[in-house]
Homo-oligomer: A and B are copies of this chain.
Amino acid sequence: MYIQQLIDKGFPIKSVLKDSIIYEPGMKPRFVYFIKSGEIRMVTVSEEGKEFIQGVFKSGQYFGEPALLVNRPYLAFTIANKNSELIALGRDDFFKLLKSDSDFSMDLIKVLSNRLFYKSMMLEELANEKAEHRLETIINYLFTDLAKGDSLNVTRQDLADMTGLRVETVIRGVKLLADKGLILLHKGKIIKK
């Protein structure tokens, strides 16, 4: 955890309210954001207003580095899913941290690798697989770290926004997966088998 170090060094904690936008596509990147508490979603929005969830970041994680590192305008929105506390680290401080702390740069490399893994997996799904397969893949991915009997706390709409499908298609697809015994449903909640 690098957040505590940053707090100790006196970086200010910024509170953001649920649903507020931290940055938008087209903006020039100036900060990397560390999450002290709360949850942030990163989404791109099509011209017709449809959201695609590029990632969700939780307490202890950070976001916004790639744009800063390659010095290109953001392509996504980042929006607070809940009231959250962030520490915004400016470009120079971020590069300083990267250079001075090789553990941090190793951590960043692994974080970026993990995100690449997720995106490669989803690209294959969106490019080649149909609704049911996509849903099975994303649900299994979300199941990692959950125990049997645990339920996912994501809505059908969330799954739609992660898979490029529409809610109705997700609802029907999830039902098919349940019929096939791959998942359990209880009051609409998706439960790990």
Interface membership of A7, Cβ < 8 A: no
Complex copy number for this chain: 2
Q: Given A70-B114, A112-B113, answer yes or no on A120-B119 (Cβ-Cβ < 8 Å).
A: yes
Q: At the interface, yes or no: A105 with Cβ under 8 Å from chain B?
A: yes
Q: Could you say which of A46-54, A78-86, A176-184 contacts chain B?
A: A46-54
Query: Majority SS of interface residues in chain A?
Result: helix
* Complex contact B116–A112 (CB within 8 A): yes
User: How many chain A residues touch B (Cβ–Cβ < 8 Å)?
Assistant: 40
Nearest-CB distance from A140 to chain B (Å)? 14
Contacts of A105 in B (CB 8 A): 102, 105-106, 109
Residues of B within 8 A of A128 (CB): 44, 46, 48, 50, 52, 164
- Say whether A172 faces chain B, with CB atoms less than 8 Å apart: no
